[in-house]
Structures are given as C-alpha cells and as structure tokens.
C-alpha cells in the first residue's frame, strides 16, 4: 500500500475537527498501520489522522531511538496534567519551521489501541509533547497557533518564500522562530 500524502499548512482541511471513532473496524486498523508507515517514512515522531485527510480521532507516535515503540491512540483524552515545559517543535504539515511551544510536562491519557482495547498511558518528556501536538491536530490546531502574531507572520512570509524558491536544500530553508 502506498503512503498517505501529508497535508501542508495553510490547507483548510488541517482546520477540520476530527470525530470520535464509534467502532474499531479493520478499516481503522488499516488506517493506523498506513499512518505509522507514513510517519516512519516522513520521517516523523507522530502523525494525526487529520494530517492525512482522515477526520477521525486517531493518532500515532513513536519517539523511541530505535523507532520500534509505536503507539496508536484512538479517541485519546487527557485526564490529568502536571507541570509545564517549553520545547522546540516541528510539524510535518509545516515543513522546515521550528518554534518553541509551551506544553504540559506530564500527562495521563486514556485511549483505545488499534484493536479497540482501552488503555491508560502516563507520558512525559518528548512522548507527552508529541501526544499533545497530535491531539491539537485532531482539534484543527497547529503548533504555529500557539505563537505570537508576529512569529506567525514571520512563518507565513518564510513559507511563501520557500514555495517561491521551490527546490532548495532543506538546510538552507529550515528556520527556528
């Protein structure tokens, strides 16, 4: 099966709010598997269904060094938060742009796995940040929405410039704002 195409900002489909998954069908399991493949190939550490134009509450993540600890969270809900952390984030839907975002340092999430089994996960460090970033996608929120209007304008201008320039190398284009 071919990988999904990842939608890019400012595509309005990234602003859709995802709906709950009533039943974990074989189609949902296949969606999760294809999202994981797309995430690993991108490469990324997370991916929300919204980013591949599927507007259901499903996200995948793998922050492990070996890229061998995949998580699939269906209908994720954060039931507890602790502390705050500021960390540099990127987004496969906002290529080559990096910026500091404030998030909860530790979260407890409930979700269903890709077989429909409920589980609870205590996440901290990069996994907690990644899950919050992906859960934002499911609400139509992008990491740039957490930034000041000035930084947003800088990003918009930079992305316009990137698109005009086309095929420059990534290291010339990337920017931390």
Which residue sits closest to ligand K1U, CB atoms considered?
Answer: 44
How near is the Cβ of 87 to ligand K1U at its closest, in Å?
Answer: 7
44 contact choice in ligand K1U, Zn ion, none (CB below 5 to 8 Å, kind-dependent) = ligand K1U
Does 62 contact ligand K1U by CB under 6 A?
no
CA distance 177 to 174: 10
By C-beta, is 24 or 97 nearer to Zn ion? 97
- Residue 65 burial (C-beta neighbours within 10 Å; 0-12, 13-18, 19+): exposed
Cα gap 123→115, rounded to integer Å? 21
Q: Does 35 bind ligand K1U (CB under 6 A)?
A: no
3-class DSSP state of 54: coil
Listed in sequence order, the residues at least 6 apart from 130 whose beta carbon sits closer than 8 Å to its beta carbon are 45, 46, 61, 63
Query: Which part of the chain contacts ligand K1U (CB under 6 A), choosing from 10-18, 38-46, 71-79, 164-172?
Result: 38-46
Residue nearest to Zn ion (CB): 91
Is 134 tagged catalytic? yes
Query: Helix, strand, or coil here: 26?
Result: helix
Residues near Zn ion, by CB under 5 A: 91
Residues that bind ligand K1U (CB under 6 A): 43-48, 89-93, 129-130, 133-134, 137
Indicate which residues carry an active-site annotation. 134
């Amino acid at each position: 099966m071919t990988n999904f195409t990842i939608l890019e900002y400012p595509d309005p489909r990234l602003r859709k709010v995802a709906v709950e998954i009533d039943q974990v069908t074989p189609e949902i399991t296949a969606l999760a598997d294809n999202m994981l493949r797309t995430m690993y190939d991108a490469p990324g550490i997370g991916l929300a269904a919204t980013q591949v134009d599927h507007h259901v509450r499903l996200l995948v993540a793998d922050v492990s060094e070996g890229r061998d600890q995949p998580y699939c969270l269906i209908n994720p809900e954060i039931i507890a938060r602790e502390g705050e952390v500021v960390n540099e984030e990127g987004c496969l839907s906002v290529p080559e742009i990096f910026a500091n975002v404030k998030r909860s340092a530790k979260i407890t999430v409930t979700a269903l796995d890709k077989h429909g089994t409920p589980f609870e996960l205590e996440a901290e460090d990069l996994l907690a940040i990644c899950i919050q970033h992906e859960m934002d996608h499911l609400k139509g929120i992008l990491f740039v929405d957490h930034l000041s209007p000035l930084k947003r304008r800088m990003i918009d201008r930079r992305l316009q410039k990137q698109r005009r320039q086309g095929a420059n190398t990534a290291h010339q284009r990337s920017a931390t704002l």
